[in-house]
């Protein structure tokens, strides 16, 4: 170790100092610092930066490859990069009224969401021909998000 060489060079034989306890204390402190750093926010930030840099390099390489293939007349690949599914539940309460009171509330749970509304615009006379508008309507929706 370089530390051992420095200690041997600086040692005064008359004092009978070996430096072993100081070396052991230094190595223990260094090992503790390294083990603490691996779980620290600074280490996580460095790892995130490295992952982003790798992803950016890969994206640039893929873009260059696609441009090169396109310049040679090859058709672009239509393979989606990601496909996400989400569920949305929509409910609407429509009592009889003149439409002067309305309100909506929504709640998102990741990609899924709930949306409920209130509007007092249902015509008491059944203005539309045929079936009367229901008081409460519940409509599930499935969303497919394809990123290219």
pLDDT tens string 2-29: 777 777 787 777 776 666 777 788 889 9
| pLDDT the model gives residue 35 | 86
What does DSSP assign to residue 16?
T
Strand partners, 113: 88, 108
Report the alpha-carbon distance of residue 142 to residue 57 in Å, rounded: 35
Q: Which residue has the tokens 């045929």?
A: 130
The dihedral built from the CA positions of residue 60, 62, 65 and 66, taken in this order, carries a sign that is negative
- pTM equals 0.41
């Amino acid at each position: 170790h370089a530390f051992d060489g420095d200690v041997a060079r600086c040692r005064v034989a008359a004092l009978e100092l070996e430096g072993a306890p100081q070396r052991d204390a230094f190595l223990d402190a260094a090992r503790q610092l390294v083990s603490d750093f691996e779980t620290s926010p600074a280490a996580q930030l460095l790892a995130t930066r490295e992952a982003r840099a790798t992803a950016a390099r890969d994206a640039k390489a893929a873009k260059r490859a696609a441009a090169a293939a396109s310049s040679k007349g090859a058709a672009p690949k239509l393979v989606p990069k990601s496909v996400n599914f989400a569920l949305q539940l929509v409910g609407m309460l429509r009592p009889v009224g003149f439409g002067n009171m309305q309100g909506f509330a929504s709640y998102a749970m990741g990609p899924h969401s709930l949306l409920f509304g209130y509007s007092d615009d249902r015509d008491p006379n059944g203005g539309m021909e045929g079936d009367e508008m229901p008081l409460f309507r519940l409509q599930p929706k499935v969303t497919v998000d394809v990123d290219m």
